[in-house]
Homo-oligomer: A and B are copies of this chain.
Amino acid sequence: MEEKPSFDILIMGGTLLTLSESMDTMENPVIGIRDGRIILVEKGENPPGKHYPAKEILNAEGCVILPGLVNTHSHLPMVCYRGYADDMPLMEWLHERIFPAERKYVNRDMVYAGSRLAMAEMILSGTTTFCDGYFYESSVAQAAIDMGMRGIVSQGFIDFPTPDQPEPAKNIKIAEAFIDKWKDRSPLISPALFCHTPYTCAAETLITLKQVAREKDVLYLSHVAETQDEIKLIQERYGLTPIRHLQKLGVLDERTVIVHAVWVDEEELEILRDTGTKVSHNPESNMKLAVGVAPVPAMLRKGITVGLGTDGCASNNDLDLFREMGTAAKLHKVAAMDPTVLDARTALKMATIHGARVLGLGDQIGSIEPGKCADLILVDMKKPHLTPVYQVYSHLVYAASGADVVASIINGKLVMKDRKLLHADLDDIMENVRKIARVIAEG
C-alpha cells in the first residue's frame, strides 16, 4: 500500500461540487489539504479502509462541499453605513447622505473596523475571496490578513481630494507605492487599482493609471455604465458612450473589470468580448438603487466572463452571495420573461469559478481541484428549507442562505467551524463598529 502524505485538513463524506470545467461532482469524497493547497481529491471508501493521517478531520456527512464564493465587487468598510439611508433617489442618497458621511467619518480606524466586520459576515456566509475598493485600502488589506481572508485590495482614484488622497496630482506615485507595498507581501492579498468612474476620473487619469496597472501586472477596475445619467454625461462630454470612451482610451483588456455594465448595447458587449474585459454584476445593488437590469444573459451568450458582486452595504444591504445568486437567477428570468436564461449552475459558476476568472485568479481559486488553493466551504443540507434534495445546485441558488454554511477554509486554514469564527472575536468586532455608528448617527 502506498504511503499517504499527512494532511493539515482532511474532509471526508458529503457531496462534492468541484466547479471544474466538466462540473464533476462526487459523493463521499476525500479531500486532502496541505500547505494551503488542495493535494488530494478522491472517492472515499465505504466503509473507510485507508488511513489518512491528518491534523484535522472534517466530517462532511449531510453537507455539500463547494469552492468558497468569490465576491467580485464591494466597498467593505461601508458596512458602517448599513441601513443608514435607504429608499431614496440615487443622487440624493449619494450626495446628501453617503458622500457627506464619508467625508466626515472615513479614517484608517473606521476602514479597519468596518473591514473586519464585513469579513466576519463574509466568512460566516461562505465567501472566501473579495475584491474591494475604498479609501485607506491598506487598512482593508491588513484586516484581510488578520482575518485570514483572500482579497483583491484596490486603491481608489478620483479626480478630487478624498480623505486619504488630498492631492489627486500624486495619483501615479500613490498607485505605484500601494502596489509595491502589497505585491508579494501575503499569499492572501493582491493589490489593484480602482478608477472610480469615467465621469469622476479624467481621460488622463484613466490612461495613466491603466499604464501603471499594466507595468505592475495588476487588476484595473472601474464603475462603468451604471446609470442612464452617467451614459448621458459621458456622451455629452466625450461624444461617446462610456464603454466606447474607455475603448478609445485603450484601457479595456483582459485585466480590466467593468463593475455594473447595466446600460450597454450590443456593440459594446462585442467590445467587451473582443478586448477580454471582465464584468462584475451586482444585481441586488442595481435593484435597490433602481438603476436598471444589466443584460447578463446577452453577456453570457457572447462569452463575456461575468462574476457576481454584492457592492457595498449601503446599497444591498448585506454581503451574502447566496442571496445574490438567487436574486441574479430570478431577476434575469423575469427581465427576459424566460425561465431558462440563467439557471442554477450558471449562477453558481458566476459566484465561484467565473468570479475567480474575473479577478484574474482562475488558476488559483474558484474550483476544487488538486493543485489549487484550498478555499472551500461546507453547506449543511440537513435543514428544513433544504429538504428534500433532488438537485444540489438548485438548493444552493434558490433555497440556501449564507446562514447554512457550517465551515470555511481559506488558503488551507480553517477559519470558521460550526458557525463560529476560529481566529477572531466577533463580539469585539461588532462592538467596534457600533461605536463608530453611534458617532455617525449623532451627526
Contacts and interface: CB of A to CB of B under 8 A. Distances in A.
Contact of A334 (B286, B336, B382, B385): B286
Nearest to A286: B334
A80 B398 contact: no
A394 B333 contact: no
Interface in A94-117: 117
* Residue of A382, A391, A438 most packed against chain B (CB within 10 A): A391
B319 A125 contact: no
A384 B429 contact: yes
A382 to B, nearest CB: 7
Contact of A390 (B318, B404, B430, B441): B441
Interface in A382-399: 382, 384-385, 387-391, 394-395, 398-399
A124 B384 contact: yes
Interface in A371-385: 382, 384-385
B437 A86 contact: no
Given A290-B334, A330-B284, A334-B287, A434 B387 contact: yes
Contacts of A289: 333, 339
Interface string A68-112: 000000000001101110111110010000000000000000000
A106 to B, nearest CB: 15
Contacts of A329: 87, 288
> Range of interface residues on chain A?
35 or more
A316 B398 contact: yes
Nearest to A121: B384
A234 interface: no
Contact of A331 (B86, B287, B318, B326): B287
A86 B398 contact: yes
B333 A433 contact: no
A293 interface: yes
B89 A340 contact: yes
A309 to B, nearest CB: 15
Nearest to A441: B390
Contact of A83 (B288, B320, B391): B391
A29 to B, nearest CB: 21
A89 B339 contact: yes
A336 B437 contact: no
A80 B436 CA distance: 47
A429 to B, nearest CB: 7
B337 A86 contact: no
25 contacts: A83-B394, A86-B339, A86-B343, A86-B398, A87-B340, A87-B343, A124-B385, A288-B330, A288-B398, A289-B339, A290-B336, A290-B338, A293-B334, A317-B394, A317-B395, A317-B398, A317-B399, A318-B399, A323-B323, A331-B331, A384-B429, A388-B434, A388-B436, A388-B438, A401-B402
